[in-house]
Structure 1
Amino acid sequence: MTNKELYKGIAEDGLSLPSTMGIFPSSKDFIFSTESIEESLKSTDYFQLINFDVIEIDKDENGTVKQEYQLIVSYLEEEFDVNLYVVDARSNDYSEFGFGNMISDEEMEIATQQDFYLESVMYFGNDALDSFHLQLKIIQAIVENPSIVVDFMPNRLLSGKWTKVTAESEIPPAPSYLYVIHSVYDEDENGNRVYWMHTHGLHRCGSVELEMLNIKDGVEQMNSALDMIVNAFIKPDFRSSENEEFNIGYDGLDITFCWKRWEDVVKDYPVAIPGGYNERQPENENYEPCGVLLAVQEGNTLTPEVYAATIADNPIFFISDQETERMSALAYQRFESYKKAFNTYFNPEADEENYYRFLIKLGFDVDHEMNKEHIWFDVYGINENNEIFGVCLNRPYAVEGLNEGDEGLYPQEMITDWLIYTPTNTITPDNIYTID
């Protein structure tokens, strides 16, 4: 299939690549038998096993057992075809893989001691995030206590503890687990850098991979914008064709982008920059379908850097109702762990090296349609009724009577997100298990 056909298939039909993950046991004695795999899949409450076929159980010339299975599972009123493979792990090298969350040395050591791991391959359904969640549920149903999970498309390792907590939850993980953003730069003799920012993982979500080229200023803001754009692209009801304008936020004016296929854009940039023409050869993975993001103002396409100052000035980003509900549900579900950490670690008189800062995001109704504005607060107290005493950190756009620096007491039901800044880490509802 040509790149032109791939672009058409992705943009119009949601053409995608399969998602491949591997899960490693946390016990050297774990055995992948047909009976145990089938029984685990049948007995789980996560999904319904519709069909289980044994494709091959054999030994190769080295005596290595080869096992392959085909499944059909039903999940959230949708059916999925899944292939499972028991894979020899003894020659694997994951030194080039990034960490998607906190993985202990012990988890990595246990993983490297395994002779075999379980690999799963499946195409995502209508909702990429739900599909990713299902894939975690399938492999964790078989390997209940994993050491690590390998997500091959973004080349990322995931904690076994995180996998267990996430798979056992009814709430999906953050969309950021679907992809990774790589930032590559060149530096000239004066120390000036030119960045190429690009995603890996979106092809399994029915989207082109996205990128920004020739970025020299506002790198942090461009990374934030790229995150927001990706989160829009992976929504079930979002479909953006090339050259079609879309908005990701508002600060008095719309923050508008479009994407163009790299073949139509790269010729306008120096050939030797990161992501330039020199890297776009057929034998290189960067030859794949990718959309270069451009800012749009008054019908003209410009470098995304024109929005750097706007994004730095705290605009309103458009977050889907689905993602807002997911974040709120997870923050609410794990609030008791947050409260426990607050009661354990909060000390306003602690020095900088021992200070834990607790933040909470609250949703305020701003119109008759119950739309909400979400505002961050510093937390200084949580009472027995789970009411939060906090100080407003942001300048509200539409909440009457609330200003930056105002103090108040707010009910738990208003929580839409929270953070804990420790002396060494940032704790979220996603990784609270590391401190709980």
Structure 2
Amino acid sequence: MFNFFKKKQNEVEIPQVQPMATWEENSYMHVLSDNVEAENIEGAKERIESIEGLKLIEFNIRDNNSGNLTLEYHGDEYGVGFYFDDFVLDSLYSLQNQKMHDEDFEKIQQKTKSFVIYMKFNKNYMDSYHLQVKLIMAFFPDTLAVVDESAERLLSGRWVELAAKSKVTPNAESLFTVQAVFDEKTKKVWLHTHGICRTGFSEFELLDVSQENVNDVYYLINTMANRVLYQNEAVEDYIFLGEFVDGNMIVAATLPWNEGVAKYPANIPGGANDREGSHNTNSKIIFLFLTEDDANNGKYTKPSEIEDKLIENPLYYYSNEQTDHMKFMARDRFDLLKKSIEEHPSYKALIKVGLPTDNEDGSVDYENLEHIWFELKEFTDTGFKAVLTQEPYRVSSIKEGDEGEYTINDVTDWIIYTDEMSIDPNIAYLL
């Protein structure tokens, strides 16, 4: 007898997408400090009320020091919950102490209790994230560290304090991490993000990446995540991310994870076999379109198939929104650069300056700037003097090696090279 219900040999069963977990739908953070250990939240209500731009509507606390609050911040209403919980440092976070002061990390390992604060982000998720870190510092000014459960990241309390005091929101990369799962036998890697779901967008993934190329291919997933978050716009059919070294465009597209894994072997890291118990909710796998015909006909290319092009110094584009955010943060924290250089003469600083470009007719285009690195020489009463470190593309009035004087309003980014590491505005808490 024929079995009419037998699956065809070439038919692939697509796994089912599962509902998101609570920590994916909401932003969950665990606060560590001495006052957390003592469950001491005295003065928190008053400190919350003093946050600029915040109106506290309701503050409820129960006998066990759990509770919730309702507030309005920059015109949007939020509901926030909190409670105390037992804490044991996960081995995952113990690997992240390279951006943590050693003395702080030793204290973190001794903590046994955390203060969990959770909330749902609104459409302005970067503002929502900024609000959450401000609330953390209002509850516990002595914050030692924060475990961002949604992004699976350990944050230094010094970073949280700096971010909370800043007039500029944390950057988009603060909202997510890119994790790597290695297969020792095949030397293949699965890259995937955590933390983006709470913004309303999907997580992103790359499968079957060669271990030797992972540091270069990483920029593909990082650029995709940043572009979506800064422009607050999901990827529809495809998105232009940059250019390959041969001049061809880097055109990326995505498929829901359960459709994308069908194009890969089931037993690779991140393949169908890895989706039964986790990583099976709101996530999309990145593919590429190599030609216009590919885009029109839905011919998806696996990034792993063209790794040779992805490691040959491709040019990834920054969105205007990302460039503006970098500029505002660099200016907001310029005093930290100045203080560090004045206190440590051995440190070297590079400052990126935006210069007006040339029009084809020889006139100056003040609307379009070329962002160029200068080496800092000295500070002045109105700004600083610096020497150009590279030849400009579209600025004829200056050449490599020329010295100029600029103000903080010309700054679009900076880097300090200490005796041990390089530090940019986002991690200026390490200074």
Query: Shorter chain as normaliser: what TM range?
Result: 0.7 to 0.9
Q: Which residue of 1 aligns with 2:78?
A: 80
CA distance in 2: counterparts of 1:48 and 1:101, whole angstroms: 37
Residues 28 and 280 of structure 1, relative CA distance in 2, 3 Å threshold:
closer
- Alpha carbons of 1:102 and 1:219: their partners in 2 closer, same or farther (altered >3 Å)? closer
Match of 1:20? Answer: 28
Matches within 5 A, 1:13-412: 17-27=25-35, 30-33=38-41, 36-45=43-52, 47-54=54-61, 56-57=62-63, 66-89=64-87, 92-97=88-93, 99=96, 102-114=99-111, 116-188=113-185, 193-216=187-210, 218-235=213-230, 237-241=232-236, 244-250=237-243, 252-281=247-276, 283=277, 285-298=278-291, 299=294, 300-304=299-303, 306=306, 309=309, 312-313=312-313, 315=315, 317-321=317-321, 323-347=322-346, 356-366=347-357, 368=365, 370-393=367-390, 396-401=392-397, 405-412=400-407
> Which deviates more, 35-44 or 197-206?
35-44
| CA deviation after TM superposition for structure 1 residue 80, in Å | 0.9
| RMSD value, Cα | 2.9
Indicate if the aligned counterparts of 2:213 and 2:311 stay in contact, CA closer than 8 A. no
SS at match of 1:235: helix
Q: TM-score, normalised by structure 1?
A: 0.81
Equivalent AA in structure 2 for residue 303 of structure 1: K
CA distance in 1, matches of 2:136, 2:35: 15
Q: Is the 8 A contact 1:359 1:420 kept in 2?
A: yes
The aligned amino acid for 2:170 is P
| Alpha-carbon contact 1:362-1:376 (below 8 Å) kept | yes
Higher mean Cα deviation, 356-365 or 66-75? 356-365
Q: Which runs of 5+ in 1 are unaligned?
A: 8-14, 58-65, 348-355
Cα separation, 1, equivalents of 2:118 and 2:59? 15
Partners of 2:282 and 2:16 in 1: how far apart? Answer: 6
Q: Is the 8 A contact 1:145 1:164 kept in 2?
A: no
Q: Is the 8 A contact 1:21 1:120 kept in 2?
A: yes
Give per-residue Cα distances to partners, 1:143-196, cap 9 Å, x unaligned.
0121111111122211112211211211112211111111222244xxx73221
Quick one: which amino acid aligns to residue 83 of structure 2? Y
Q: Residues 153 and 343 from structure 1, CA distance in 2 versus in 1: closer, same or farther, beyond 3 angstroms?
A: same
For this pair of structures, how many residues does the alignment match? Answer: 397
Q: Secondary structure at the match of 1:234?
A: helix
Read off the aligned partner of 1:296 and give its amino acid letter. F
Give the alignment's TM-score, normalised by structure 2.
0.82
* Structure 1 position 290, deviation (Å): 1.8
1:351 equivalent in structure 2: none
2:422 to 398, 420, 426: 426
Residue 336 of structure 1: SS of its match in structure 2?
Answer: helix
SS of aligned partner of 1:150: strand
Q: Secondary structure at the match of 1:326?
A: helix
Cα separation, 1, equivalents of 2:312 and 2:376: 24
How far apart in 2 are the matches of 1:187 and 1:169? 42
Aligned to 2:5: none
Q: How much does 1:139 deviate?
A: 1.5
Q: CA 1:429 to 1:318, structure 2 compared with 1: closer, same or farther past 3 Å?
A: closer
Instruction: Please give the alpha-carbon distance, in whole angstroms, between the structure 2 residues aligned to 1:3 and 1:49.
Output: 42
Superimposed CA distance per residue, residues 365-406 of structure 1 (whole angstroms, 9 cap, x where no aligned partner): 33647133322233344444322312333x644434555x34
Deviation at 1:316, TM superposition (A): 5.2
Q: Distance in 1 between matches of 2:37 and 2:60?
A: 25
CA distance, structure 2, for counterparts of residue 18 and residue 28 of structure 1:
22
**AA of the residue aligned to 1:139:** I
- Cα distance, 1:113 vs. partner? 4.8
How far, CA to CA, are the matches of 2:187 and 2:86 in structure 1?
42
State, as a whole percentage, how many aligned pairs show the same letter. 26
| Structure 1 residue ranges, 4+ long, deviating more than 6 angstroms after superposition | none
Match in the other structure for 1:62: none
Residues 356-365 or 108-117, more deviating: 108-117
Indicate the larger mover: 306-315 or 334-343. Answer: 306-315
